[in-house]
Structure 1
């Protein structure tokens, strides 16, 4: 009776080498099959473009910031910044009176009370350096300044000149500027993004036609720069407000920009 060891055939050295080579070929074929399914292969068969669009839009609203202030009488600096309570109360009463008159004047110009925002009181010392002899600094005086900031939302830009006139007549002390903006920002940014995508598609189609290739499906879309814009600023100085010349207000246009990156697969075409 043959032993168990005799049932297992012994491979000759040449047969063993052939078996190893055959196994290596099978492993290589399996690895190649897996490599073809890797996502990185798509990088060799894609067309990728970048596009950027700019959209210019006329503003349809504005925000105006102004300030009113009152000051106490100047006194010699004595090391203490505490203002005289009576002088401080009188300055505050004058400021509140002027603020109320200005708000009523603006409401008379058709500004909704909800569009008028009066900020909190700001109290700060104001130092005045007196001139001395022979170019040397003289005595330092100090007074207390009480400010009231005002912010106006203007939905009808045609009213802007009349509103500025009302501010001038009310004796506003500082006009910090007018900021032009858009009521519907989302619609404008959506339009800028849509134009960037259309531009990307046009570039891809042009490249495919020139290179005689056929575009497949979109395989990647990336927004490389979110639509953004900066509101237009118009600043005015007090001397410009006091000028008798009729001022001109030109809001111009607000520019929005958006950028995208889009990739298409390249479809296989039959050999000619």
Structure 2
């Protein structure tokens, strides 16, 4: 008879434990979520530009020789002419209002060039060699209204080539941040619209990730290979720089 109360106590303990186990399992069940992806595009008007130009000089074309292909005196004279022109170009830009720190002179490059020799007969096709000395320049412009005047200054300074204009932004971080915020706002708008339509309530944000980090690339504009031919007749418009961003956001569904 003494075992009967013990059995009752044991049975009662088991019955009490069953609902507790069920509640714990119910709490561990994953809650429903609403997943949204959104992309946004930001069109920004550039406020900075970089002009790229080049100066070069050549030595006289001569017949190549195996022992010495370059005349040292001709090479030195070409280099002196190039340095004089480079100094004159910098002075012209400074007179046009460009600060010295905004003018970047690249390294001097030297390379051979081969040109056909004058034809003495129909079958004569010998080649001559000359040396070209090349120096690139970059000019940063913070006021785009001054761009036409600077193009004129480069042309007047006798640059041999203008390689193009790169349009840029003074504050890139602010623009990429704005694109990202725009994508997040679009994701929230989509989630709220879906929740209203499906008659559910959004809870806390469960997860946020980027599907497309904001990509920024300066806008390039090609120019005529010969600045003297184009001059300032062409019209240069900056257009817009496109920045795209994408996000993925998940919300907990309350009911």
TM-score range, shorter chain: 0.7 to 0.9
CA distance in 1, matches of 2:254, 2:47: 47
How many residues are paired up?
243
Give the structure 1 partner of residue 171 of structure 2.
Answer: 184
Compare 51-60 and 164-173 and name the one that shifted more: 164-173
Q: Which of 156, 162, 165 is the matching residue for 1:169?
A: 156
Please state if 1:157 is matched with 2:144: yes
1:235-260 deviation digits (Å, cap 9, x = unpaired): 11145642467221111001111000
Give the structure 2 partner of residue 122 of structure 1.
Answer: 109
Please state if 1:60 is matched with 2:47: yes
The alignment's TM-score, normalised by the length of structure 1, stands at 0.81
In the TM superposition, residue 93 of structure 1 has moved relative to its aligned partner by 0.4
Structure-2 change in CA distance of 1:245 and 1:121 (3 Å): closer
Alignment of 1:1-272 (within 5 A): 33-34=24-25, 36-37=27-28, 41-42=30-31, 45-79=32-66, 82-130=69-117, 138-239=125-226, 241-243=228-230, 246-268=233-255
In the TM superposition, residue 233 of structure 1 has moved relative to its aligned partner by 1.1
Compare 98-107 and 69-78 and name the one that shifted more: 69-78
Structure-2 change in CA distance of 1:67 and 1:239 (3 Å): closer
8 A Cα contact 1:81 1:125, kept in partner: no
Q: Secondary structure at the match of 1:138?
A: coil
Structure-2 change in CA distance of 1:137 and 1:215 (3 Å): farther
RMSD over equivalenced CA pairs, Å: 2.7
In the TM superposition, residue 69 of structure 1 has moved relative to its aligned partner by 0.5
8 A Cα contact 1:168 1:242, kept in partner: no
8 A Cα contact 1:50 1:200, kept in partner: yes
CA distance in 2, matches of 1:51, 1:230: 21
Q: Secondary structure at the match of 1:257?
A: strand
In the TM superposition, residue 224 of structure 1 has moved relative to its aligned partner by 1.1
Structure of larger gyration radius: 1
User: After the TM superposition, which parts of structure 1 deviate over 6 Å for at least 4 consecutive aligned residues?
Assistant: none
CA distance in 2, matches of 1:157, 1:89: 38
Unaligned 5+ runs, structure 2: 4-13
The alignment's TM-score, normalised by the length of structure 2, stands at 0.86
CA distance in 2, matches of 1:244, 1:37: 74
Structure-2 change in CA distance of 1:178 and 1:80 (3 Å): farther
Q: Secondary structure at the match of 1:120?
A: coil
